[in-house]
Every structure is written in C-alpha cells, then in structure tokens.
Amino acid sequence: MMTRQASATNVVSLRQGFLPRHREYLMRWLEAGACMGLCDADISDHNDANEPDIEHVLVWVRENAKPAYMVRPEGMGWVLVDQIRDRQLATYSSFEAALHAIRPVLAHGATVAA
C-alpha cells in the first residue's frame, strides 16, 4: 500500500517570463531613451548549475561600460537590480514599470497589446 506524502513537488510555482510584447516594449524604450543615456539591452539566460535558467534583461547606460541594471521575473513580479552595486532596488508588478524606474522615457502605462 502506497502512502501519499505532501511535498514541495505538489506546489506549482508561478513565474512570469518574457513575452514578445516585452521584447517590443524594450526596443521602444531603448530607442526613446537614447537621448537620456540608455545605450543597449540584452535578454539573457542565467546559467548556473544550481539554478534553472532564468531569463533576465541587462541594461547598459552611457555612464558605465558594464551593465548598470538587471530586470528579472520573480514570482508574479519583476525585480530591478543595480548591477554596479549588486543590490536589489525594488519589485514591480509589470516589466514596463521596472523599466520606467530606470529611465521614465515612455508614458507610464504605454504597454503593447499582447
């Protein structure tokens, strides 16, 4: 007779991911922010043997040769990290809000339909 044990495998964790609309918004945000020092962004995978691959966006600004910010999905939110100081700044309810916190170059709420 098998007994059923409650375990962490019964828990389904929710994690947002990058959608085509996020990529499109990122490109519009970068273009609009060029005059405010936004230089480049890259959507990458985190390759750590101890963690599953986690997509994140690295953002370069004119003032630094290294990526200045990272935005990554965490649960149902988006975490903004200061890459220079290796410090989490805040968690936002949307990808757009996290980018807006870096440089408010597009009207807040100017999202692209999915």
Task: Say if 110 falls within a structural domain.
Answer: no
**Full residue range of the structural domain in which residue 54 is found:** 20-101
Q: Is residue 80 included in any domain, yes or no?
A: yes
pTM, two decimals, is: 0.75
The answer to whether residue 73 sits within a structural domain is yes
pLDDT higher than 70, residue 111: no
Q: Is 53 a member of any domain?
A: yes
Whether residue 21 contacts residue 113, with contact meaning beta carbons closer than 8 Å, is answered with yes
State mean pLDDT over 77-88.
96
In the chain, which residue ranges form alpha helices assigned H by DSSP? Answer: 20-33, 95-102
* pLDDT average, residue stretch 76-87: 95
Decide if 78 is inside a domain: yes
The reply to whether 109 falls in a domain is no
Helix (H, G, I), strand (E, B) or coil at 4: coil
Establish if 29 belongs to a structural domain: yes
Q: Is the pLDDT of residue 2 over 80?
A: no
Q: What is the mean pLDDT of residues 6-34?
A: 78
Domain count for the chain: 1
* Residues 68/84, Cβ–Cβ less than 8 Å: yes
